[in-house]
A and B are shown apart, each in its own frame.
Chain A
Amino acid sequence: MSNNYLEVTNLKKSFGGIKAVDIQSLKLNKDQLTSIIGPNGAGKTTFFDLISGFQDSDNGKVYLNDKNITKSQPYLIARLGMIRTFQLTKVFDRMTVLENMMFSASNVNNDSFLKSLIKLPSQKINEKNIRDKSFEIMKELNIEHMADSYARELSGGQKKLLELGRSIINDPKILLLDEPLAGVNPKLAEEILEIILNLSEKGISILMVEHNIEAVMKISERVIVLAEGKVIADNTPENVRTDENVISAYLGSENE
């Protein structure tokens, strides 16, 4: 087995005349906490959409642990253990926080219609385990006291925490985090970074898109810079910081 969890070749996606994503080749390493940065419109979220099945690429291949997942459906990719979050935080609004957690845990490998109608004793035990695990994670994330609140009642930051909790309850192999710090106050941002580092240490491969450059530089082992859909730098944080291409890409976009 190679040490790459995700491999992308010749991945292309255009909207009209604009090339949103145009990546020749990219391999992501299992033990490296990797971040993608880039100016607005660089194609970061589109790249996430392409590898998580939310958009179909025009061209190219995506491999997840050597399995071809090009143009696979999002739910199938999720079942393979690659779980993503969204830039605009999504939660199940009309479920409680606990229901959000338990729902995300219970369905992945077991959604046959008959089983859904009849609860066998073994499922009851299973349900109790899931409940315990949900509480464990909520405790770690400090949202345990909100367990019975409806998710729509949470603040933006709490929703971010719930989204994280929801994504990890199934023990994913890979987490794709789309701006986990967006709109979060500095103190909570610190906490979330801490959580992400912990997850990485527990062996979950993490790929993160984030605008907060300082945070990215602090926790990432590898930083990929996208601009106009292309990889313009791919290196350690220190080297990316001083890369000419990166500096001009960022300054260029600010001048526009």
Chain B
Amino acid sequence: MIEQLGNGLLLGIIIAVASVALSLLYGVTRIVNFAHGEIIALGAIATLFLSSPIDSRVLFLDRFSPLGNNFYLSVLISVLFCGLFGGILEFFLFRPLRKAEVGNIAVLVVTIGLSLFLRHIYLLLNAKPQNFPLELQRRQTYLFFDMTPRNFRVLILGIIVMVLVGLLLNYTKIGKAMRAVRDSNDLASVSGINSDNIILFTWISSSMLAGLAGVFQATINDVRYNMGFLILLLIFAGTVLGGIGTSFGAMVGGFIIGIVVNVSVGLPFMEGHTEAKNAIALAIMIIILLFRPQGIFGEKERLS
């Protein structure tokens, strides 16, 4: 079981980053974004495209290599691109829907449609799983777990990103404005906040975080058209487990889910049934919700 802990920490940090992104967006806009998985995949796909040698690419895009295949630069550009993409989604799709006062359920269905649409575009671009063009690394021991130096860097970077998100939300004006719009859009407006701008910023930052989670996920596994969709359920589980709409809860919930998924592989009765590992994580989520319906860090409101 202990050898699975390293993998668990890695998946935990990925789910945590992705869950924070989902939770931020839900908190501020009340949108349950099923296309979140596709933004995750976009981060990985864009990085693969920008960093791969030209001859390994597909379709008509194989002559394009402006960054000289520099991996870290590719990651940076891809994450920014995801932010831009999220901003475009908000500006041209979700803002008009909001102005037309389309209901939450209808918007949820729109995100499901968007998810399917994007996933199949990715499928058209490239159906087979591919790896980032990175050399193989040997595992090393860090404290009490084993992982490759690259994965260790993913872990550290993930933690840094989450600390930064926490600082942004709690100590900057824009973070406070996000919390204000989350609590009451109307009240934020009468406090002089342009909530459209705050929502746009939320879409951009949520999408950048999702893209980064995708890069992390692909660094550890590979790039697939449906890679985001495959972990979307775990991300939802992490968000719900931590308490819907609380960013700190989403971090902790995501982390717990990721660790449980991988550590459960080492349980005796799981031998030969590793495909069932998600089931254990989801069962734990259900059990915790039975005892704490608002999630671990969710809080009940006074109803008077």
Binding site for B on A (CB under 8 A): 52-54, 73-75, 78-79, 83-86, 90-95, 99, 103-104, 106-111, 113, 115-117, 150, 152-156, 166-167, 170
Do B172 and A78 touch across chains, with their CB atoms under 8 A apart?
no
**Given A153-B302, A154-B302: A107 touches B186 (CB 8 Å cut-off):** no
Do B179 and A95 touch across chains, with their CB atoms under 8 A apart?
yes
Q: Select one of B173, B182, B186, B189 contacting A111, CB under 8 A.
A: B173
Binding site for A on B (CB under 8 A): 172-177, 179-180, 182-184, 186-195, 201, 299, 301-302, 304
Q: Select one of A74, A78, A116, A170 contacting B173, CB under 8 A.
A: A116
Cα distance A79–B190 when bound, in Å?
Answer: 8
**Given A90-B184, A117-B174: A152 touches B190 (CB 8 Å cut-off):** no
Known pairs A52-B190, A75-B189, A92-B179. 7 more at Cβ < 8 A? A78-B189, A78-B191, A91-B184, A106-B173, A110-B173, A111-B177, A117-B172
Q: Closest A-chain residue to B303, C-beta based?
A: A152
Do A74 and B302 touch across chains, with their CB atoms under 8 A apart?
no
A residues in contact with B179, CB < 8 Å: 92, 94-95
Cα distance A104–B180 when bound, in Å?
Answer: 9
What would 18 A/B residue contacts be, using CB atoms closer than 8 Å? A74-B186, A75-B190, A75-B192, A75-B195, A83-B190, A91-B183, A94-B179, A94-B183, A95-B179, A111-B174, A111-B194, A113-B201, A116-B173, A116-B177, A117-B173, A152-B301, A153-B302, A155-B304
B residues in contact with A108, CB < 8 Å: 191-192
CB distance from B301 to the nearest CB of A (A): 5
Q: Select one of B176, B189, B301 contacting A74, CB under 8 A.
A: B189
Q: Closest A-chain residue to B194, C-beta based?
A: A75
| A-B residue pairs, 4 tightest by C-beta | A116-B173, A74-B189, A108-B192, A92-B183
B residues in contact with A86, CB < 8 Å: 186-187
Do A93 and B189 touch across chains, with their CB atoms under 8 A apart?
no
B residues in contact with A170, CB < 8 Å: 192
CB distance from A171 to the nearest CB of B (A): 13
Cα distance A20–B195 when bound, in Å?
Answer: 27
Q: Closest A-chain residue to B189, C-beta based?
A: A74
Do A152 and B302 touch across chains, with their CB atoms under 8 A apart?
yes
B residues in contact with A79, CB < 8 Å: 192
Residue among A74, A106, A108, A110 facing the most chain B CB atoms (10 A cut-off): A74
Q: Closest A-chain residue to B187, C-beta based?
A: A90
Cα distance A109–B172 when bound, in Å?
Answer: 16
Do B182 and A94 touch across chains, with their CB atoms under 8 A apart?
yes
Cα distance A150–B195 when bound, in Å?
Answer: 22
Cα distance A123–B180 when bound, in Å?
Answer: 20
Do B190 and A107 touch across chains, with their CB atoms under 8 A apart?
no
Do A107 and B302 touch across chains, with their CB atoms under 8 A apart?
no
CB distance from A107 to the nearest CB of B (A): 5
Residue among A104, A107, A110 facing the most chain B CB atoms (10 A cut-off): A107
B residues in contact with A85, CB < 8 Å: 190
Do B304 and A107 touch across chains, with their CB atoms under 8 A apart?
no
B residues in contact with A111, CB < 8 Å: 173-174, 177, 192-194
Do B193 and A75 touch across chains, with their CB atoms under 8 A apart?
yes
Residue among B187, B192, B201, B302 facing the most chain A CB atoms (10 A cut-off): B192
A residues in contact with B194, CB < 8 Å: 73, 75, 111
CB distance from B269 to the nearest CB of A (A): 41
Residue among A53, A94, A167 facing the most chain B CB atoms (10 A cut-off): A94
Cα distance A113–B177 when bound, in Å?
Answer: 11
Cα distance A111–B201 when bound, in Å?
Answer: 13
Do B180 and A92 touch across chains, with their CB atoms under 8 A apart?
yes
CB distance from B193 to the nearest CB of A (A): 6
Cα distance A234–B23 when bound, in Å?
Answer: 50
CB distance from A19 to the nearest CB of B (A): 21
Q: Closest B-chain residue to A151, C-beta based?
A: B183
CB distance from B136 to the nearest CB of A (A): 40
Cα distance A117–B173 when bound, in Å?
Answer: 7
Cα distance A110–B173 when bound, in Å?
Answer: 9
Cα distance A152–B294 when bound, in Å?
Answer: 15
CB distance from A184 to the nearest CB of B (A): 12
B residues in contact with A95, CB < 8 Å: 179-180, 183
B residues in contact with A75, CB < 8 Å: 188-195
Cα distance A91–B190 when bound, in Å?
Answer: 11
B residues in contact with A78, CB < 8 Å: 189-192
Q: Closest B-chain residue to A81, C-beta based?
A: B192
Q: Closest B-chain residue to A153, C-beta based?
A: B302
